[in-house]
Amino acid sequence: MTVHSDRSQRRRVVIVGAGFGGLWAVKRLKGAAVDIVLIDQRNHHLFQPLLYQVATASLAPSEVAWPIRSMLHDRKDVTTILGTVVGVDAAGRTVRLADGSAVAYDTLILATGARHGYFGHDEWEAVAPGLKTIEDTTAIRSRILLAFEEAEREADPARLKALLTFVIVGGGPTGVELAGTIADLARDTLPRDFRAIDTRETRVLLVEAGPKVLNGYPDSLSAYAKRALEKLGVEVRLNAPVTQIERRAVTLGGQRVAAHTVIWAAGVRASPAAEWLGAPADRNGRIVVEPDLSVPGHPDIFAVGDTIAVARPNGAPVPGIAPAAKQEGAFVAETIRRRLAGDPERRAFRYRHEGSLAQIGKGKAVIDFGWLKLRGAVAWWLWGLAHIYFLVGVRSRLSVALNWLWIYTRNQRGARLITQADDKPPVD
């Protein structure tokens, strides 16, 4: 079954993906002479910058995810479809869904995001999950908490050491934030709750293949982040590419480290959108788009966010972060508005970098605004305010702010729920 577009009236814009890029396109098309169909394989929008806080029991899933229909209930021009897109028929101007149906479009925006990238070792995903979905975060949270629970009953010293070893692969913002928060959890939150083990003996190992953590940040902030992590007890291994990940062990630089919990924060791979269209793509599968963010050869198909590779005027790539996706979604919406007004000019997207922020455990962060670089407690407060500001809804902002204040003052995390028993490692 195909849902057709009535081209004699309003134009139909189909948006695939309700992430930051897709939702900002919806937002900026409000009032335009278009009908919007928003398709996503999940029923919620996810604030991905705080996923690691769910994985480390600082926040609940409901505090970083919101139902799409609820967010758009007052937008009568928007129809929401829960479905998985499996292809695009550019000649027939339709999007194909997994259930066999199709949705027709006049203009298509692909905001399909990215998934974990394991550099050709997809078999590692089963033992080293990453953070992209709510399911990912609750599974990782269960693995982390189960490691402490099993350690409480473990008598063998070698197995105990492995249970209390956590390896994070990748020294970017997600890896740094995960390592610091797990160290805080083990050092400040859990010691009073266990009897047979001292959780302060937990080993957190952050592994980075490159020469520094937070690559892309100024050297001074990167060096500060490394020192701050080490003060928390995190072991930072630089120039240490991982060569093997197996159940309960990681090999790096020829050294095998026994660890029951391994978390992947080293790379991503774009959705198969480029394959759907036979479009040019970079090595990570991102569509190499035209300057106006359209897909080469398809002026009525745009792509935004982690789906694409686009360069700034100086040749540097636009980063795959939420502010960039928002700007791209808004830009495409304005392009569609201009076309509806009879302006066919193809203008180039210009990215405005608004700054880079990363938390390093409780009370410490680094911020790079370009003209201003901050670190330490002041940066942490600004980091918190910025993230609270961009959350959806007053209730979420208040809830997250209160949770962070409670953690900061009481060292307690209320979201320590083991919700997926099937993540429990099998008994040897």
Report the C-alpha gap between 395 and 389 in whole angstroms: 12
Same domain? For 278 and 315 the reply is yes
First-to-final CA distance of the chain: 50
Q: Is 78 helix (H, G, I), strand (E, B) or coil?
A: strand
Same domain? For 233 and 376 the reply is yes
Same domain? For 171 and 233 the reply is yes
Instruction: Report the amino acid identity of residue 85.
Output: V
**Tens of pLDDT along the chain (428 residues)?**
565 555 446 899 999 999 999 999 999 999 999 999 999 999 999 999 999 999 999 999 999 999 999 999 999 999 999 999 999 999 999 999 999 999 999 999 999 999 989 999 999 999 999 999 999 999 999 999 999 999 999 999 999 999 999 999 999 999 999 999 999 999 999 999 999 999 999 999 999 999 999 998 999 999 999 999 999 999 999 999 999 999 999 999 889 999 999 999 998 899 999 999 999 999 999 999 999 999 999 999 999 999 999 998 888 899 999 999 999 999 999 999 999 999 999 999 999 998 999 999 889 999 999 889 999 999 999 999 999 998 877 778 889 988 888 888 877 887 888 986 544 444 33
Report the C-alpha gap between 167 and 102 in whole angstroms: 43
CB 216 within 8 A of CB 355: no
Same domain? For 197 and 228 the reply is yes
Residue 52 backbone class (left: φ over 0; alpha: ψ -120 to 50; beta: rest): alpha
Same domain? For 390 and 323 the reply is no
Same domain? For 377 and 246 the reply is yes
CB 301 within 8 A of CB 87: no
**204 is a domain residue:** yes
Which residue, 66, 25, 213, 48, is CA-closest to 137? Answer: 48
Residue 425 sits at φ, ψ, to 5 deg, of: -60, 140
- Domain residues for the domain of 98 are 2-41+83-116+268-340
Report the C-alpha gap between 35 and 17 in whole angstroms: 16
CB 18 within 8 A of CB 68: yes
Same domain? For 380 and 255 the reply is yes
Q: Residue 247 is encoded by which pair of tokens?
A: 């159940």
Report the C-alpha gap between 102 and 79 in whole angstroms: 14
Which residue, 264, 43, 27, 224, is CA-closest to 136? Answer: 264
Catalytically active residues are 177
CA contacts within 13 A on the Cβ side of 110: 38
**199 is a domain residue:** yes
Indicate which CATH number applies to the domain containing 323. Answer: 3.50.50.60
**46 is a domain residue:** no
Same domain? For 378 and 247 the reply is yes
Other Cβ atoms closer than 10 A to 51? 25
Same domain? For 142 and 218 the reply is yes
Same domain? For 165 and 252 the reply is yes
**50 is a domain residue:** no
Indicate which CATH number applies to the domain containing 219. Answer: 3.50.50.100
Instruction: Provide the domain count of the chain.
Output: 2
Same domain? For 232 and 378 the reply is yes
**160 is a domain residue:** yes
